[in-house]
């Protein structure tokens, strides 16, 4: 468990299970990891922890305990956090209109140094673990390598 500053979660809904991740910005994953490591040390002053956490957001993807398909869970999660302050935000969903649309969107995310896209089947129920209703799509670079002896 990561000790989270009370101010960070004080406005979060208490009776809703949310699936998401902490985010601090593009190309700042190592900085986020550093902040989390510092937060876990008991000798760090609360004031310092508050300062470290000022740019962190909890980005919500889903509400896994809510009944219904992904579309209804996404809507429920979005409504549940609508008045919860600046530390929590809903990742918007967008219908995939085909391969070209997917590739263009992935290119835009990759250009900003984002990691990729999660594709959800809109009518799928929540499943813990791996499922064929959720697909993570990432860009990759292919390079030729010449082996010299």
Is the pLDDT reported for residue 103 higher than 80? yes
User: Within 13 Å of residue 14, how many CA atoms lie on the same side as its CB?
Assistant: 3
Tokens 């997917």 sit on residue: 102
61-76 pLDDT, tens digit per residue, is 999 999 999 999 999 9
Which domains does the chain show, CATH number per domain? 6-137 (3.30.470.30)
Per-residue confidence at 30, pLDDT binned at 50, 70, 90? very high
Of 122 and 140, more confident: 122
What mean pLDDT do residues 90-113 have? 91
Choose among 16, 117, 19, 24: nearest CA to 61: 19
Per-residue confidence at 15, pLDDT binned at 50, 70, 90? very high
Across the chain, the runs of DSSP E, i.e. the strands, are 19-23, 57-62, 88-90, 117-120, 134-137
**Who's near 109: CB < 8 A, 6+ residues apart?**
115, 116, 117, 139
d(CA 28, CA 96): 27
d(CA 119, CA 122): 9
pLDDT, mean over the chain: 88
Q: What is the pLDDT of residue 41?
A: 78
d(CA 109, CA 115): 7
Residues 116, 107 contacting (CB under 8 angstroms): no
Q: Whole-prediction pTM value?
A: 0.82
d(CA 78, CA 82): 6
Q: What is the pLDDT of residue 19?
A: 93
Q: What is the pLDDT of residue 61?
A: 92
């Amino acid at each position: 468990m990561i000790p989270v500053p009370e101010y960070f979660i004080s406005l979060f809904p208490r009776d809703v299970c949310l699936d998401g991740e902490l985010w601090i910005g593009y190309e700042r994953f190592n900085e986020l990891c550093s902040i989390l490591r510092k937060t876990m040390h008991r000798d760090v002053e609360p004031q310092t922890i508050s300062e470290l956490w000022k740019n962190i957001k909890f980005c919500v993807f889903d509400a896994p305990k809510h009944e219904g398909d992904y579309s209804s869970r996404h809507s429920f999660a979005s409504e549940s956090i609508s008045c919860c302050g600046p530390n929590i935000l809903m990742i918007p969903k967008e219908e995939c209109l085909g391969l070209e649309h997917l590739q263009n969107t992935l290119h835009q995310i990759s250009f900003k140094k984002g990691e990729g896209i999660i594709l959800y089947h809109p009518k799928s129920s929540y499943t813990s673990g791996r499922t064929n209703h959720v697909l993570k799509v990432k860009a990759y670079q292919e390079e030729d390598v010449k082996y010299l002896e």
